[in-house]
Structure 1
């Protein structure tokens, strides 16, 4: 068997997964958007089998729903599911901060501050998509300071699902993390006040949840895919 030949589909799996994952988490593909295998197959130039594997992977992560006789669509988290996800994040992220070893290396804190500065710049320029993405990266990098890979992976998956919840129920302003709250968490960690940072994180995540609303629009798959493919080619959509 030709090993190179078998590697190509796997590589395409990863590329397609990365594109769809980013499109969902960046709110380009909104909750409820149908994801027909034939449309995705043509757009990405792969077989429906490859597309199906990617969709099943995204479904396992809670980002896509596989509907019997209706195909796949971007998941639409229920209100209860949304609340459960934020409750789980509070348990994991606050617990991680309370157990974090001190002192945290200055270089790690500076890396967090750089993310907050980039998030602030995105908010100031009105780039909500980048602001939400950078906010998520902040929470993931913060969890990574524990050195617990399993915890970090769980937080990363919950952050991705939170992006979907924000796309479903989020108001344009209220649910974007305030960079000042992130700065406060860093300052508390710099003072080795892990308990204070955990308490601040608890309120921070509750504030985001309180900003949720309960209605959402739909997105156009063909339009999003044109943009995705144009970005992949480094050019503009036709």
Structure 2
């Protein structure tokens, strides 16, 4: 595997581990163990951590020490406020620009969410719930909005890790189904209303007392993510 693909593997693995709450906010990310885990230099790990910092997932301190970001309550509320504004427009554009096969694609994704929920795969449910919104943003046909939404969705995963109670998969999946039905009917205002209620519901479930960082070994946490990311990088 080339150095660039190894760097991508490190970035993708750490990113997914954060999104799925395997690495919770406040977890330290020392360069040496990460370099050993991914068999790359500290320079490439530094680059991966810088990318994660630009995504808002990692904080890098004055002494170049990196930790998984811990959003404040003020930032959490601002993120949800921004999401409601952006996703309302995304829904309007998605209805107006609905293409053949788009509904079927979303339905297939919801089936994945159902399967993860049925198998009690809580971490996968968290990731898939966020990916539903990203797919919807891509349907809107505006790459700028899609990019902003992707960043906000990943930040919401951090917010849920800090403040949220265990993910309510059944609730999210049912709300996604309702959104798909409104899209199928091309009922723009109903779809916008459903999205607003959905995001308010996520926020209400999220902003609860903080969770503490795990003391589990970093290598043990990242090993399955490293393998999955390496497989992904190897296919590109």
TM-score between both structures, scaled by the size of structure 2: 0.89
Where do residues 96-135 of structure 1 align in structure 2 (5 Å cutoff)? 96-102=90-96, 104-135=98-129
- How far did 1:157 drift? 1.4
- How far did 1:17 drift? 0.6
- How far did 1:155 drift? 1.0
* Mapped partners of 1:143, 1:39: distance in 2: 36
1:78 aligns with 2:72: yes
- Aligned to 2:59, the other structure's residue is in SS state strand
* Mapped partners of 2:99, 2:34: distance in 1: 45
* Counterparts in 2 of 1:140 and 1:226: CA distance versus 1, 3 Å: closer
Name stretches of at least 5 consecutive residues in structure 1 with no aligned partner.
1-6
Aligned counterpart, 1:214: 209
- Aligned to 1:224, the other structure's residue is in SS state helix
1:197 aligns with 2:194: no
The one of 44, 48, 57 equivalent to 1:63 is: 57
1:224 aligns with 2:221: yes
Does 1 or 2 have the higher relative contact order (CA < 8 Å, sep 6+)?
2
- How far did 1:103 drift? 6.6
Aligned counterpart, 2:39: 45
Aligned counterpart, 1:3: none
Contact preservation (8 Å) 1:94, 1:201: yes
Name stretches of at least 5 consecutive residues in structure 2 with no aligned partner.
232-236
* Counterparts in 2 of 1:233 and 1:192: CA distance versus 1, 3 Å: closer
Aligned counterpart, 2:153: 159
* Mapped partners of 1:187, 1:84: distance in 2: 29
Aligned counterpart, 2:234: none
- Aligned to 1:211, the other structure's residue is in SS state helix
Higher gyration radius (CA): 1
Contact preservation (8 Å) 1:132, 1:176: no
* Counterparts in 2 of 1:75 and 1:175: CA distance versus 1, 3 Å: farther
- Aligned to 1:82, the other structure's residue is in SS state helix
* Mapped partners of 2:125, 2:179: distance in 1: 18
- How far did 1:169 drift? 1.1
Backbone CA RMSD of aligned residues: 2.1
Q: Which moved more, 1:51-60 or 1:114-123?
A: 114-123
Aligned counterpart, 2:164: 170
* Mapped partners of 2:72, 2:170: distance in 1: 20
- Aligned to 2:56, the other structure's residue is in SS state coil
